[in-house]
Structure 1
Amino acid sequence: MSEQTTTPGPDRSQRKHGTDPLLELKNLCVSFTSTTGTVEAVRDVNLTVYPGQSVAIVGESGSGKSTTAMAVIGLLPGTGKVTGGQILFEGQDITNLKEKEMVGYRGSKIGLVPQDPMSNLNPVWRIGTQIKESLKANNIVKGSEADQRVAELLSEAGLPDAERRAKQYPHEFSGGMRQRALIGMGLAARPQLLIADEPTSALDVTVQKQILDHLDGLTEELGTAVLFITHDLGLAAERAEHLVVMHRGRVVESGNSLDILRAPQHPYTKRLVKAAPSLASARIQSAQQKGVETSELLTHRSLEGREEVIRVEDLTRVFDIRGAKGDKKKLVAVDHVSFGLKKGTTLALVGESGSGKSTVANMILNLLDPTEGKVYYKGTDLSTLGNKELFEMRRKLQVVFQNPYGSLDPMYSIFRCIEEPLRVHKVGNKKQREQRVGELLDMVAMPRSTMRRFPNELSGGQRQRIAVARALALNPEVIVLDEAVSALDVLVQNQILQLLADLQERLDLSYLFITHDLAVVRQTADEIVVMQNGKLVEHNTADKLFANPQQDYTRTLIESVPGLGIELGTGEGLDG
């Protein structure tokens, strides 16, 4: 198959928007200069966006999708520059405009909602001041009208009590509120095209859904075209009419979203569709509704007759809030939660940010003391153990954290990262520890030569494999996985989930999976515990919970998974 398979002429969704393109990329090439030479990040990309249309570029980290978008708005980082091809906006070539001319397009014709709301808002300026700056930069309103317009934009972006909110600082906003403020900014000058770069990747599914619904409504009302940049195929399928798949700087497939998802042509697209958790979940749901055998897609272990390795009884944690008075001084983060984790199975603890799930995990790991309630390990009450016994217990309970970039010491070699728990627990001599590190690297499918490297030389997925190897070093029985795959691309995420499943099978491990991603849970968990505002609201096997959620909150969580409602069949035609 040719490397680039693009749809000739406009597809159905494009024809609906008229025939003159708003944005056209013709054989666009972008390069970066590094110490080792020139890196071609984008190669011969062709892409068309029509007025009012939604288009998504999907692909893994490093596929060139964000670089393509930044070239359009003239904000290429570092040494990046357009080295070939054209960028046409309303028929005008804007490829090599001088900075001063490009400013005329930025904001007023092409808006941007950047990826990370925390690093894209100035922490020392009020939210209102930052929106005012964007209004000023585009000569939209002046003087006293500006405050009124800021409040209107924040209300429009779905923030209640906008005048008060405008006076607050970014740290006083939640992630979802910050993202709404950025959407308000991006649409402040009523651009014809809005580039949304991973606009919701850091947010809970329910908040993500609210923001995307809101963005859909706003852009529909204003007639704005949207170019989504995302690695989430479910989200792309649900939100964009037209899909462009990028791999290693090239477009490998392009066309109507649902057509591509139902019948991907390129081997890379097939791999993406097969690996996407939300789409795999959609296939499981669809297969179960049709009564098709789902063992190909999912294997749940029988829970009968298995002993409980962890039991939590009436677990409660109350925090004091500094500066608050009276009733508001206490925050009940976890409120009388009870459940058990059975040996050799996976129990997922799900809920939005602030639901108390990570606090429960920290109490199980003995990193936080419960205010009330007990944690039992194989019937032993952990609160009765002395320091020496607790130290021994830590060998049995290990953890893999969310961020593979923050959980490995950058000053330690990979060998030292994995060897450390062995050394701390005085396991073996130097030679035996070296042999054990080699075995652990084999287990997580990493070459033994990796032990001489440092974390910054590895990708996110490779680092997470090292974190898993370190967690396995002391032969634990229970591993707590705290959002362990949420920071990874879909293909890498799929590899790590597969690795965890294989290790569980081989070593009879028990997993406590902390996550807000129900699509991942659908594939991995035997049992699911749903938490909301510190309380346990539902507990069931994965199949029963998805087939028949008892609580409205659980139903909302499931319905918010992007792409879960897309009818995909059971994965036929996805080999490749």
Structure 2
Amino acid sequence: MSIATPTSAVTPGSGARSAITPLLEIRGLKVEFSTQRDSVTAVDGIDLTLMPGQTLAIVGESGSGKSTLAHSIINLLPGTGAITAGSILFDGQDLTTISEKELQGIRGRDIGFVPQDPMSNLNPVWSVGFQVEESVRANGVAVGRKEIRAKAIEVLRKAGLDDADARMRQFPHQFSGGMRQRVLIGMALSASPKLLIADEPTSALDVTVQRTILDYLDSLTRDSGTAVVLITHDLGLAAERAEQLVVMYRGKVVEAGPSLEILRNPLHPYTQRLVAAAPSLASRRLTAAAKGVESTLTSPVVAVPATAAAFDLAAIADRPRAGIAENTALQNNALADNAIVVDGLTKVYSIRGRGFKTVPFTAVDNVSFSIARGTTMALVGESGSGKSTVAKMLLGLEKLTSGRIEIDGADTGELSPKELFNLRRRMQPVFQDPYGSLDPLRNIENTIAEPLDTHRVGTKAERRKRVYELLDQVSLPRAIATRYPNELSGGQRQRVAVARALALKPAIVILDEAVSALDVLVQAQILQLLHELQTELSLTYLFITHDLAVVRVIADNVAVMNKGRIVEAATTSEVFENPKQEYTKRLLDAIPGANIRLGA
């Protein structure tokens, strides 16, 4: 299926479209991966046309072939992947027939690429500034040491990083996931390429930075004629930013055409399912009576009543700084049955300055909140606001600079190693990065069974049975149990991470961007699963996310973080319908496609 090409003429540098010379033409593309027994077709007979200055979004569920299609354009297919049929014409040149050396001259300079995984695509032993400078130098954007450095700082600043000069000296591990993604985006755009391939470029970004990056992409398209292939699972983003849309399912294109036309009036049953499953600001909290994706995400439901925890959050957020004892007294009076109480939590890092000097950086600044047992609190805010640092301190992965954490009434700072070990059985994490959080040397069965092995739960046969139950719950085929993480897509890896966290049936789950890498269908399934488990087992969730539409669906209460502090906290309905802080209003206004109606 081909995308209809526009008929207007193009003038050089205008960004207008041309009906005569497409920038990218893909015809009959077929990509296969060889296995020990046979081969698997990941992309099956794809046709599409992209004009200069045009933005094309490719959507579909995890494993549909979206990323494989993107990687095949610049011949960066992983493992045994190979193009077995078809052609890829870029600016009139067939990329499937040229040499690797010729292709290297095109990558980066003419075709920019933003990979899906911001965590593993930056070298951990080199500073961020050095890596950006290398990209600028390799693409011939600038010459001379001073000019290259100035360009690198400009690249980071345009990508939305504050204090770009100071950030140049830091290392990837000192950046949040969203900040790393911004670095990769800046590197890809440094040479102002003719074509930018962006594989989930904003999945790790908060909505305000997402808007900054997408506005920058729009300016490139408008001013220099750069075309964009945008691979995304965010239908609101596709509707708002892309002129054309391709829907992929099992390696094939099932629907293609103008984005708004398709998303407002989807014809193919698969596209209809995607649109029905997409969360939005019109969604309401999942309820125990909700059945199925469509009813939970689009139908009116009974509002969840405000809890005492919400009053507690609002009171603490509005209070001036106070001692631990004072805050604790307030919390205990407000609500006796808290699963989690965080009081005066502060984390100060020492970051590298000039020479051998270090300077203090406060990542979390006197944060206090509590979560009632059996409820969900969402912690939201921009990338770098301190959300993930709070999660790491709760899990004991980062030491507190000051403050106190109570889990089920026990001060974690006073627990013995054995008590901490037992606590971890009742409190499990789902980390932000599905690439770095899975051991590449363990197959999927052993990965999911790891918590069961560590805590010596059940026999080997019982553990295997539990693994299969979990694979069913997160909508993964049981055959995947013998595969390894590098054989899975990003969304599939995140589902494995969720399954592993649920293996021990914990009382508390801390989810750090747990659904950010998932397509809308699987996202809806995971959210429904989390809700059902919470209803059945009275689980407590701390849900860290930048996706405010998801917050609307899953959370009872919301705390908004900015620069290490909680600036607003209340029930989900209050925050969304009557935000008090200007910062919260900015977050809500920046949601892509918030005002675009999807579906009939």
Deviations 1:252-306, CA, capped at 9 Å, x for gaps? 11011111111111122222223333xx335569xxxxxx998726665334578
CA distance in 1, matches of 2:299, 2:422: 40
Question: 1:87 corresponds to which letter in structure 2?
Answer: I
The corresponding residue for 2:374 is 344
Question: 2:538 corresponds to which letter in structure 1?
Answer: D
Q: Residue 155 in 1 paired to residue 154 in 2?
A: yes
Query: Is the 1:314–1:374 Cα contact (8 Å) retained in structure 2?
Result: yes
Asked which structure has the greater CA Rg, the reply is: 1
CA distance in 2, matches of 1:162, 1:536: 22
Q: Report deviation, 1:85.
A: 3.1
CA distance in 2, matches of 1:101, 1:475: 53
Normalised by the size of structure 2, how large is the TM-score?
0.76
Query: Is the 2:5–2:49 Cα contact (8 Å) retained in structure 1?
Result: no
The corresponding residue for 1:17 is 17
Query: Is the 2:155–2:187 Cα contact (8 Å) retained in structure 1?
Result: no
Instruction: Describe how 1:79-478 pairs up with structure 2 within 5 A.
Output: 79-90=80-91, 93-99=94-100, 102=103, 105-107=106-108, 109-116=110-117, 119-120=120-121, 124=126, 125-135=130-140, 144=144, 148=147, 151-152=150-151, 155=154, 158-159=157-158, 171=172, 174=175, 182-183=184-185, 186-187=188-189, 190-277=192-279, 280-281=280-281, 296=299, 300-304=303-307, 308-312=337-341, 314-319=343-348, 321=350, 329-365=359-395, 370-383=400-413, 393-404=423-434, 406-407=436-437, 435=462, 438=465, 442=469, 445=472, 453=482, 456=485, 471-472=501-502, 476-478=506-508
Q: Residue 536 in 1 paired to residue 566 in 2?
A: yes
The corresponding residue for 1:549 is 579
Deviations 1:320-355, CA, capped at 9 Å, x for gaps? 526679x97544333232222123221111223332
Q: 1:423 to 1:229 in 2, by over 3 A?
A: closer
Question: 1:319 corresponds to which letter in structure 2?
Answer: V
SS at match of 1:445: helix
SS at match of 1:281: coil
CA distance in 2, matches of 1:165, 1:374: 31
Query: Is the 1:245–1:269 Cα contact (8 Å) retained in structure 2?
Result: yes
CA distance in 2, matches of 1:367, 1:161: 27
Question: 1:69 corresponds to which letter in structure 2?
Answer: A
Task: Decide which moves more: 227-236 or 184-193.
Answer: 184-193
SS at match of 1:269: helix
Query: Is the 2:239–2:263 Cα contact (8 Å) retained in structure 1?
Result: yes
Query: Is the 1:158–1:214 Cα contact (8 Å) retained in structure 2?
Result: no
Task: Report the aligned-residue RMSD.
Answer: 4.4
Q: 1:464 to 1:115 in 2, by over 3 A?
A: closer
Task: Decide which moves more: 251-260 or 97-106.
Answer: 97-106
SS at match of 2:139: helix
Query: Is the 1:13–1:256 Cα contact (8 Å) retained in structure 2?
Result: no
CA distance in 2, matches of 1:414, 1:522: 32
The corresponding residue for 1:513 is 543
The corresponding residue for 1:29 is 30
Instruction: Specify which of 550, 558, 572 is matched with residue 588 of structure 2.
Output: 558
Q: Residue 52 in 1 paired to residue 37 in 2?
A: no
The corresponding residue for 2:70 is 69
Query: Is the 1:49–1:225 Cα contact (8 Å) retained in structure 2?
Result: yes
Query: Is the 2:350–2:359 Cα contact (8 Å) retained in structure 1?
Result: yes
Instruction: Specify which of 483, 503, 507 is matched with residue 533 of structure 2.
Output: 503
CA distance in 1, matches of 2:483, 2:31: 30
Question: 2:255 corresponds to which letter in structure 1?
Answer: E
Query: Is the 2:345–2:400 Cα contact (8 Å) retained in structure 1?
Result: yes
SS at match of 1:516: coil
Task: Decide which moves more: 466-475 or 263-272.
Answer: 466-475
Normalised by the size of structure 1, how large is the TM-score?
0.79
Query: Is the 2:498–2:514 Cα contact (8 Å) retained in structure 1?
Result: no
Query: Is the 1:158–1:180 Cα contact (8 Å) retained in structure 2?
Result: no
> How much identity, in percent, do the aligned residues show?
50
Query: Is the 2:277–2:297 Cα contact (8 Å) retained in structure 1?
Result: no
Query: Is the 2:509–2:540 Cα contact (8 Å) retained in structure 1?
Result: yes
Question: 1:131 corresponds to which letter in structure 2?
Answer: V
Query: Is the 1:307–1:343 Cα contact (8 Å) retained in structure 2?
Result: no
Q: 1:24 to 1:322 in 2, by over 3 A?
A: closer
Q: 1:11 to 1:47 in 2, by over 3 A?
A: farther
CA distance in 1, matches of 2:5, 2:30: 21
SS at match of 1:334: strand
Question: 2:344 corresponds to which letter in structure 1?
Answer: L
Query: Is the 2:170–2:352 Cα contact (8 Å) retained in structure 1?
Result: no
Structure 1: gaps (5+ residues): 286-291
CA distance in 1, matches of 2:544, 2:68: 33
CA distance in 1, matches of 2:82, 2:255: 24
Structure 2: gaps (5+ residues): 286-294, 309-334
CA distance in 1, matches of 2:470, 2:536: 10
Task: Decide which moves more: 9-18 or 535-544.
Answer: 9-18
Question: 2:366 corresponds to which letter in structure 1?
Answer: H
Question: 1:40 corresponds to which letter in structure 2?
Answer: T
What is the count of residue pairs matched by the alignment? 548
Question: 2:136 corresponds to which letter in structure 1?
Answer: I
CA distance in 2, matches of 1:78, 1:293: 39
CA distance in 1, matches of 2:94, 2:61: 29
CA distance in 1, matches of 2:31, 2:576: 45
CA distance in 2, matches of 1:370, 1:245: 46
Question: 1:314 corresponds to which letter in structure 2?
Answer: D
Task: Decide which moves more: 175-184 or 160-169.
Answer: 160-169
